[in-house]
Structure 1
Amino acid sequence: MAQFTSDGLSLAYDAFGPADAKKAIVLVHGFSANRYENWKRMGWYDAIAAKGMRGFALDNRGHGESDKPHDPAQYDREAMARDLFALMDHAGVERAHLLGFSMGSHIALTAALVDGSRIDHLVVAGVGAKMFDPPREEGAMAEAMEAESPDSISDPMLKSFRHFADEQKEDRLALAACSRGARVPLTQPSLMAIRRPTLVVAGARDQLAGPPQGLADAIPGAKAVTLPGCDHFSCIGHPLFKASVFDFFDGWLE
């Protein structure tokens, strides 16, 4: 297991693809997942290597094989965004594509606001127009992670995240802390500051994300792709997702 240090935390990552590639990409997984579940198992490592790119996928703080503090102050989204740049520094990469999913998309968007000069193309998936809706009940996700049993959780979406966290054997108290972490407001006015080529991808049945076009409209020049028949959890492995991402990188997606 490869590791690097960011903000005093030890974070795990994988590197794949040709080491001398001209283009690099950093993959950022979703809440309660990890680099293996979201990316390697879904074929992204092999697909990226086959395209001749150098790839990196980290376990976000609080997830997978990375350090898992139980203090919400350790999960400031801007700090998590800087973890991506710390990984790039560790690997000797000045600029890279960013590909995020769900929470990873929020982190990637925050990274684009923190230091867009180090980002080549930006792809955010599992997010859409609902990003601008009023937040869900504050603390509900943390409480779902802290519940003694998932049977006590009434909200189907929260219950699904809890079941997934249990299946992945994640540290639920770390996830609760992560969900309480401070976040940079991602509003329509603030996202206007992003000046990187951006692609927004979401499933047609993704009730958590909403339509991707609604988010793409807030980012200058951004494009949107809707994956037919996909919900929030099934889009990441969809072949059209990979095809759309690589077409975007290659300049074919108009």
Structure 2
Amino acid sequence: MTITTHHWTASDGVTLAWRETGAGRPVILVHGLFSDAQLNWVKFGHAEKLAAAGFRVIMPDLRAHGESDKPHDPAAYPPGILGRDLLELVAHLGLSDFDLGGFSLGSRTSVHAVAKGLSPRRLILAGMGLEGLLGWEKRHEFFLEAFEKFESASRGDRHWFAVQFMKSQKVDRVATKLLLESNSTVTEAMLGKIIMPTLVLCGDDDRDNGSAPALAEALPDARYEEVPGTHTTSVTQRALGEAMVRFLTLP
């Protein structure tokens, strides 16, 4: 499988990256917090499965992540910036008929983008529950606390795994903290914009973002599917990519 990396410039001058593989119907996949396209979508074979199924897989690195710029200026992180970046990427690529999927923060970003007018044919919200969208404040506070405990968290601390993941990814703490502080919650009105067929996909032991079944029930045209794992491990499972392919190739 050949992965190509591309760069483009957002309207505020920040340079952002996306990775791409395959040819055919476009599907945009948005990674989770502290991660990047390589880790979420390439490393465990999900992009390869989609490409083999006839998709052009487009995988942006969110600002402050991966190969995208990581500015330290708070002005680079206005509320809703990730959703705006996603809309601008779609316009930059000239896409009019495409599918969209996200994991965790990528799901939140996808919801924000749809609320701003993005219209994918089908939508995948992975690693996300209803409370993770409508009650983002609690998750937001958790991550801000993890930044505070970056040097002091010990095994058994509820922030331990988040801190270890940040360290393994060598995150830019200044940039990602600014990004987190700019994030806003999803409203009921925003959820009301999600009228396209939607797959809510979550690990069977993942409660980090609340109830995924409740999220599926809250949407007018959604189905819920489980894969093995926690919030951390579900994205490593072959079943995740397989479920995405099944949903996106439905007649």
Q: TM-score, normalised by structure 1?
A: 0.87
Contact between 1:27 and 1:58, CA under 8 Å: does it hold in 2?
A: yes
Aligned with residue 4 of structure 1, among 1, 8, 11: 8
Spell out, residue by residue over 1:136-180, the C-alpha distance to the aligned partner (whole angstroms, 9 max, x if none): 276442342254514369742x33122111111121111111111
| Stretch deviating more after TM superposition (83-92 or 53-62) | 83-92
Spell out, residue by residue over 1:193-242, the C-alpha distance to the aligned partner (whole angstroms, 9 max, x if none): 22211111111211202331101112111111122x41001111222222
Please give the root-mean-square deviation of Cα atoms over the aligned residues, in Å.
2.2
Which residue of structure 2 lines up, in the alignment, with residue 99 of structure 1? 101
Helix, strand or coil: the match of 1:207? Answer: coil
Q: Using the TM superposition, give the Cα deviation of residue 53 of structure 1 relative to its aligned residue in structure 2, in angstroms.
A: 0.8
Contact between 1:105 and 1:124, CA under 8 Å: does it hold in 2?
A: yes
Q: Given the alignment of the two structures, is residue 173 of structure 1 paired with residue 171 of structure 2, yes or no?
A: no
**What runs of 5+ residues in structure 1 fail to find an aligned partner?**
none
| Stretch deviating more after TM superposition (127-136 or 201-210) | 127-136
Contact between 1:204 and 1:211, CA under 8 Å: does it hold in 2?
A: no
Report matched runs for 1:1-254 at 5 Å. 1-7=5-11, 8-18=13-23, 21=24, 23-76=25-78, 78-117=80-119, 119-131=120-132, 132-133=134-135, 135-136=137-138, 139-147=141-149, 149-151=151-153, 155-156=157-158, 158-183=159-184, 185-227=185-227, 229-251=228-250
Contact between 1:3 and 1:10, CA under 8 Å: does it hold in 2?
A: yes
Contact between 1:127 and 1:212, CA under 8 Å: does it hold in 2?
A: yes
Helix, strand or coil: the match of 2:177? Answer: helix
Helix, strand or coil: the match of 2:137? Answer: coil
Separation (CA, whole Å) in 1 of partners of 2:107 and 2:126: 6
* Structure 1 residues 77 and 134: alpha-carbon distance in aligned structure 2, compared to 1, 3 A threshold: closer
Helix, strand or coil: the match of 1:110? Answer: helix
Q: Using the TM superposition, give the Cα deviation of residue 135 of structure 1 relative to its aligned residue in structure 2, in angstroms.
A: 2.8
Q: Using the TM superposition, give the Cα deviation of residue 189 of structure 1 relative to its aligned residue in structure 2, in angstroms.
A: 4.5
Q: Using the TM superposition, give the Cα deviation of residue 55 of structure 1 relative to its aligned residue in structure 2, in angstroms.
A: 1.1
Number of equivalent positions:
245
Q: TM-score, normalised by structure 2?
A: 0.88
Runs of 4+ in 1 over 4 A off after TM superposition: 137-140, 152-155
Q: Using the TM superposition, give the Cα deviation of residue 89 of structure 1 relative to its aligned residue in structure 2, in angstroms.
A: 2.5
Amino acid aligned to 1:245: M
* Structure 1 residues 137 and 25: alpha-carbon distance in aligned structure 2, compared to 1, 3 A threshold: closer
**What runs of 5+ residues in structure 2 fail to find an aligned partner?**
none
Contact between 1:124 and 1:199, CA under 8 Å: does it hold in 2?
A: yes
